[in-house]
Amino acid sequence: MSMRVTFLGTSGAVPTTRRNPSAVFVNREGDRLLFDAGEGTQRQMMRFGTGFAVSDVFVSHLHGDHVLGIPGLVQTMDFNEREDPLTIHAPRGTGDDVNDLVHAAGNRPSFPVRVSEVAPGETVVRREEYEVRAFRTDHDARAVGYALVEDDRKGRFDRERAEELGVPVGPKFSKLHEGEPVELDDGTVVRPEQVVGDPRPGRRFVYTGDTRPSEQVVAAAEDADLLVHDATFASDRADRAADTAHSTAAQAGEIAQRAGAVRLALTHISSRYAGDVSAHLTEASETFDGEVFVPEDGETREIPYPDG
């Protein structure tokens, strides 16, 4: 099962020539999910080849740099004669504003667009092998982050052991792997726990949107395989980060460290660091032992399973 993350927009509130406002695209085995949609997101989707077949947009909060891409994206989907429904999830109390964005400039999409308000702690979307949960963040707006959490996978099937026990190769193998006991021709019963290992954890992708360092994020990002965290500033502007309800790279690193995350993407980079993000990388590496990177727009990462 592939899980591919494409960073469509990595700038802070003001875009630069290299960085578009916030948007992160996740393709999980063909399910296409968009986290925030800053202005120009539709062109980034074209440039970086993600396609428009998005089922859900997860809005972290209603600041313009996270949502002004919605009107254009919805209009283009309409021009493309989309018929599939689109669901836009947004923090409780912001549904009317999101609806206004969908209908901006008199736009009346001919495909169904559903706006769904979410509260922290809620499971927002439940699919066959994963869910997306909302969690509280700490910003100067009604704001949530989102965690895509895969279900545990079945344990490894020990083929050799099964053969030793006399299980014939074939349907009884799959039955055991599905968790059912099987009876052999001589009447012996082989139980699944004899040949199937412990369930293996799935992957976790966590997107904070804009936030100060927050205990809720530590909890939500526990064992995250990829944590995408606000790192608007480096430590030279720590005061400004606190005043504007954002985080520094070092703070994002601390959060990732305490959460036990595997890798950390620093994003929402202020335009003052347009040419140089070396301080971000250095400072986050001082507080976080895992892999840190500052994605460029268009950068794509395949997230591996925790056990390889």
Least separation, in Å, of the C-beta of 61 and Zn ion?
6
| DSSP per-residue string spanning 47-65 | HTT--S---EEE-----HH
CB 200 within 8 A of CB 156: yes
CB 262 within 8 A of CB 201: no
**Checking phi first, is residue 99 left (phi over 0); if not, alpha (psi -120 to 50) or beta?**
alpha
Least separation, in Å, of the C-beta of 142 and Zn ion?
11
Residues 93-112 interacting with Zn ion (rule: CB under 5 A): none
Whole-angstrom Cα distance, residue 209 to residue 217?
A: 11
Indicate whether 230 belongs to the interface with Zn ion (CB under 5 A). no
Q: At what angle do helices 95-102 and 70-79 cross, to 10 degrees?
A: 50
Q: Known catalytic residues?
A: 65
Indicate whether 19 belongs to the interface with Zn ion (CB under 5 A). no
Which residue in 150, 210, 225, 297 binds Zn ion (CB under 5 A)? 210
Least separation, in Å, of the C-beta of 71 and Zn ion?
18
43: its two tokens: 């062109």
- Residues 6 or more apart in contact with residue 144 via CB below 8 angstroms: 60, 61, 91, 118, 119, 120, 134, 135, 136, 137, 209
Indicate whether 254 belongs to the interface with Zn ion (CB under 5 A). no
Whole-angstrom Cα distance, residue 279 to residue 113?
A: 42
Query: Quick one: 21 or 202, whose CB is closer to Zn ion?
Result: 21
Determine the interface stretch with Zn ion among 42-50, 125-133, 154-162, 207-215 (rule: CB under 5 A).
Answer: 207-215
Residues 29-68 interacting with Zn ion (rule: CB under 5 A): 63, 65
Query: Quick one: 51 or 64, whose CB is closer to Zn ion?
Result: 64
Sign of the alpha-carbon dihedral angle for 299, 300, 305, 308: negative
Query: Quick one: 141 or 238, whose CB is closer to Zn ion?
Result: 141
Query: Quick one: 68 or 238, whose CB is closer to Zn ion?
Result: 68
Least separation, in Å, of the C-beta of 207 and Zn ion?
12
Q: At what angle do helices 249-259 and 278-287 cross, to 10 degrees?
A: 30
Least separation, in Å, of the C-beta of 202 and Zn ion?
29
Query: Quick one: 65 or 283, whose CB is closer to Zn ion?
Result: 65
Number of residues this chain uses to bind Zn ion (CB under 5 A): 3
Using CB under 5 A as the criterion, which residues of the chain lie in contact with Zn ion when the complex forms? 63, 65, 210
